[in-house]
Amino acid sequence: MNRLDTALVTVALRWFKTPSCARLLSYGRCASLSLVALLVALPAMAQLSTPLPTTIVTDLGERHTTLRHASGAYQLQATSRTEPASTLRQQEELASSSLRLLELPAIEYRQLPESQLWGDWITTASGERAWQGILQLEEAGWNTLYFDQYQLSHGDMLVIANEEGEVRGAFTETNNVSSHSLTTAPLYGERLIVYYYPASGKRSDLPWRLSSITTALLTAVGEELPPTVGGHKGPGSPWFVVKGLDCAEATVRHPEVERIARSELLLVVRGRFFSSGTLINNSRLDGDPLVLTAAHCLNNSYNCRDLDYVRQSAEQSVFYFNYFSPTGDPLINGIEEQTLAGAELVAYNEEHDMCLLRITGVRPDVPQGQCPIPQSYRPYLAGWNAERDFPAPVIGIHHPQASVRRYNRADGKPPIESYDMVSVPVQWINSHLHIKKWDVGTTAGGSSGSGLFDKNHHLIGALTGGSSYCDTPYNDYYYALSEVFTGYADEACLKPHLAPTSDQTTLEGLDPFATMPSVRLSHQLYSLMRDSVAISTLDAAVEGIAVRYDIDTSVQYLGSVLVLGAMQKWTPVTLAIYGDEGGKPGKKLYEQTLPRPAYLLLNDAGQSPQARILSDAFQAFFPAKEDTPLTLPAGSYYIALEGSEGKSLSAPLLMSKAQPHATPYAWHLVGSNWEPAKAGRTPYLGHYWIDPIVLGKLKAGGTSALETADEPRVMLVGERLYLLLPDSWLAGDASAEVELYSAAGQRILSLPLTSTHSSLSLADYALQSGVYIVHLSGSGERYSCKLIRP
């Protein structure tokens, strides 16, 4: 054994001595890397909605079947229809530069009748008065409702449901804003039912008016994955899942951008315009919910330039937080329950395509100077650089075709140039950063308004348009913050809003809830083995599974995220938490029955919420029981799923194919005994994908932070090369580089490294089986090791 091999074995042995972290065995001979327990979002009910009281749940449940087949629905007549772009226009957009706004075909209902024509007061089963109205639309789709004159009193509730019983709301006085408007997150269906429950329980004038409805027809967008199980799109379906953007990688492949990725939002404007935007920090550091996007995202691509229209577009915007895939494969759907709705126009400049919004549908009870976005959304407000000089490479994070979050990178520094588009009645002179070539990724419709970040993760621009695609990753244009920071009136530039207390031109980002974060403990979310997953196929004798988690300080349990495969139907399961006893599950500390995952859906019996279709892989959040808060002191715990009433467990959980532990972290319940998990007759040393959510500040070195290294670590997993560098290698202005050589000494690649955590795709290099050499250099240090390509 040579000296290099001996050093690597020593590292590997030391790597397994710490039982509290998930350890990964490399496929080659380089030291392995583990990235565990990242802090991500804790899902919550869509928008600022109040849980429905039991009496209302019962009332709606009893009327659900009748309303689904009711003949008294008011038939709405559409005032306009927009069709998808023609084949000729699509070909023109592929051939030339275009705005990257995604517009869906839609049906508009703008001339709604007075409420007394489509609804009336009723007496509920509980004896209270309520208002009920039923609307029949021309076609099923995703419906966004717009209310004006909205001013609810304390205790009033407004609820919107579809014919399947899926609900938006209850909306209350917490949704009151200065514009007296309310925009709802889209709700699928062809028949909508609106309920109003006054706190007084008496008939009165309605403190709202339904002004319009937009029905977006999503089936015309992209290429949907064929359902793995079952068939039709229905209530609880994801927006849609798109093929053809494989080069635009999921952000989870790049843990180095985890914080700034949390600042990127998916925007739905007027129910049919899809784009992106970035939460951005200001010099007051007060968590003001400012969102930077593009002007054309709100003015219908410069077809409606009247400021009143733009302001109304802001009011009719919905913001999706943390919509990302939990695996590097971006075709697993994200959690969709985290939204806020409504915004006001803060700054707007068509000469640069700049638009700055402030979200208004936020928590109203937050003291001034504190972030009003719900803590469970884990917002990050991006820092920015308004200078013309900035370090490369540059990174783009966006939602192409309204899909889960994606990552782009250009290694060259983009120059500031003019951007001229024949179809736009505005000339952009020396205003845009020109991405001549993406080294990773592409943009697409839906990416408009998304952020461009420099090497230091400062926001430097937002996307206007371009012509990049996976096979031709060239020529995208982002308007530059530096060119619209000053020089205009306050309402047309950024400085008065981003630097109101100073003359600074750069600012770091803000994590407003860093002192007490909600934490998603995960063995797989940012693990190198994350993409090596399979659907669990358990033996009939297995009545439950459990996954071990080690925490180093006291935390409060808030719930769990399950990453599930497609299934025919949902069978109730029991979630339990066990303490550790001799290295295996011991005393049961907590137990709850999990209903079918999804949005709040009232079934015919008015029982537990049910909704999301089960025909695709997805992740779902199950909150802890509110009446039994659970505090977990430092120690080892087992999150378990068990079949109900002694039945075998049938839920198709995702599981890791790899074996990252020397000791078992996965357990099976056989009869009344917990045994180390087996795959067939072989010990299974991976994990089932159950991620507990806890509230608490985990200590340094616990399970809450990215792994750090005192020497480089390298790992080859499939077609990806993962690298972990010591922080000192990139300190200050130091640069680093990776080189890959064949055994014959031929250099295969040489790339700069801009982060201590790197993930490189080797798919384009067509590596054959054999031995390869990795050379790393940085800050005067060098490191080499061998990799074996199976």
- Over the stretch 155-207, which tens digit does the pLDDT of each residue have? 999 999 888 777 888 899 988 888 899 999 888 889 999 999 999 888 989 99
> Would you state the structure tokens that stand for residue 188, as one six-digit string?
């699928």
The pLDDT of residue 695 is: 82
The whole-chain average pLDDT of the chain stands at: 80
Q: How far is 316 from 361, CA to CA, in rounded Å?
A: 11
- Backbone angles phi and psi of 124, in degrees to 5: -75, 170
Q: How far is 243 from 224, CA to CA, in rounded Å?
A: 7
Q: Are 44 and 592 within 8 A, CB to CB?
A: no
User: Per-residue pLDDT for 363 more than 80?
Assistant: yes
Strands 682-683 and 678-679: antiparallel
Of all helices (H) and strands (E), which one includes residue 90? Answer: helix 87-95
Per-residue pLDDT of 142-167, as tens digits, reads 899 999 999 999 999 999 988 877 78
* Alpha-carbon torsion angle 180, 181, 184, 190, nearest 10: 120
Q: How far is 295 from 297, CA to CA, in rounded Å?
A: 5
> Would you state the structure tokens that stand for residue 77, as one six-digit string?
């007549």
The pLDDT of residue 62 is: 63
* Alpha-carbon torsion angle 334, 336, 338, 339, nearest 10: 130
Residue 645 has, within 13 A of its CA and on its CB side, a CA count of 2
The pLDDT of residue 374 is: 84
Q: How far is 211 from 144, CA to CA, in rounded Å?
A: 11
The pLDDT of residue 46 is: 52
Confidence of residue 71 (pLDDT cuts 50, 70, 90): low
The pLDDT of residue 231 is: 37
Q: Are 672 and 636 within 8 A, CB to CB?
A: no
User: Per-residue pLDDT for 611 more than 50?
Assistant: no
> Where do we find the tokens 């798919």?
763
Q: How far is 286 from 284, CA to CA, in rounded Å?
A: 5
User: Per-residue pLDDT for 318 more than 60?
Assistant: yes
Question: 316-330, 342-356, 421-435 — which is least confidently predicted?
Answer: 316-330
Percent of the chain as helix, strand, coil, to the nearest 5: 10, 40, 50
H helix runs in 188-265, sequence order: 258-261
Of all helices (H) and strands (E), which one includes residue 498? Answer: helix 495-498
Work out the percent of the chain whose per-residue pLDDT is above 70: 81
Q: Are 169 and 157 within 8 A, CB to CB?
A: yes
In Å, the largest CA–CA distance within the chain is 87
Q: Is 719 exposed, middle or buried (0-12, 13-18, 19+ CB in 10 A)?
A: middle
Cis peptide, bond prior to residue 790, ω within 30 of zero: no
The 3-state DSSP class for residue 507 equals strand
> Would you state the structure tokens that stand for residue 618, as one six-digit string?
């997805």
Q: How far is 57 from 25, CA to CA, in rounded Å?
A: 50
Domains of the chain and any CATH numbers: 3-34+710-789 (2.60.40.3080), 54-76+112-220 (2.60.120), 249-507 (2.40.10.120), 518-695 (2.60.120)
Confidence of residue 453 (pLDDT cuts 50, 70, 90): very high
Residues whose CB falls within 8 Å of the CB of residue 687, separated by 6 or more in sequence, listed in order: 22, 523, 524, 547, 655, 656, 660, 665, 666
Residue 78: how many other CB atoms lie within 10 Å: 16
Residues in the chain: 790
Confidence of residue 504 (pLDDT cuts 50, 70, 90): very high
Q: Is 728 exposed, middle or buried (0-12, 13-18, 19+ CB in 10 A)?
A: middle
The pLDDT of residue 68 is: 58
The 3-state DSSP class for residue 295 equals helix
Work out the percent of the chain whose per-residue pLDDT is above 90: 41
Strands 770-778 and 736-742: antiparallel
The pLDDT of residue 37 is: 24
> Would you state the structure tokens that stand for residue 160, as one six-digit string?
């919107």
End-to-end CA distance of the chain: 20
Q: Rounded mean pLDDT of 698-714? A: 59
Cis peptide, bond prior to residue 161, ω within 30 of zero: no
User: Per-residue pLDDT for 322 more than 60?
Assistant: yes
Vertex 184: Cα angle to 178 and 187 (nearest 5)? 175
Vertex 240: Cα angle to 356 and 221 (nearest 5)? 80
Q: Rounded mean pLDDT of 15-27? A: 26
The pLDDT of residue 43 is: 27
Q: Rounded mean pLDDT of 313-338? A: 83
Q: Are 513 and 375 within 8 A, CB to CB?
A: yes
Confidence of residue 609 (pLDDT cuts 50, 70, 90): very low
User: Per-residue pLDDT for 282 more than 70?
Assistant: yes
Question: 373-377, 509-513, 633-637, 761-765 — which is least confidently predicted?
Answer: 761-765
- The full 3-state SS of 57-71, as one line of letters, equals HHHHHHHHHHHHCCC
* Alpha-carbon torsion angle 689, 695, 696, 698, nearest 10: 10
Per-residue pLDDT of 665-690, as tens digits, reads 999 999 889 999 987 777 888 889 89
Q: Are 416 and 358 within 8 A, CB to CB?
A: no
The 3-state DSSP class for residue 187 equals strand
Confidence of residue 323 (pLDDT cuts 50, 70, 90): confident
Highest mean pLDDT among 317-326, 444-453, 769-778: 444-453
Q: Which of 685, 727, 729, 730 is nearest to 709 (CA)?
A: 727
Q: Which residue has the higher pLDDT, 229 or 3?
A: 229
Residue 306: how many other CB atoms lie within 10 Å: 9
DSSP secondary structure letter of residue 303: T
Q: Are 341 and 185 within 8 A, CB to CB?
A: yes
Vertex 558: Cα angle to 331 and 658 (nearest 5)? 45
The pLDDT of residue 384 is: 98
Q: Are 323 and 399 within 8 A, CB to CB?
A: yes
Q: How far is 279 from 321, CA to CA, in rounded Å?
A: 10
Q: Are 320 and 446 within 8 A, CB to CB?
A: no
Q: Which of 130, 136, 117 is nearest to 195 (CA)?
A: 130
Q: Which of 150, 152, 113 is nearest to 135 (CA)?
A: 113
The 3-state DSSP class for residue 171 equals strand
The pLDDT of residue 765 is: 80
User: Per-residue pLDDT for 229 more than 50?
Assistant: no
Q: How far is 317 from 321, CA to CA, in rounded Å?
A: 13
Q: Which residue has the higher pLDDT, 137 or 42?
A: 137
> Where do we find the tokens 């419709």?
445
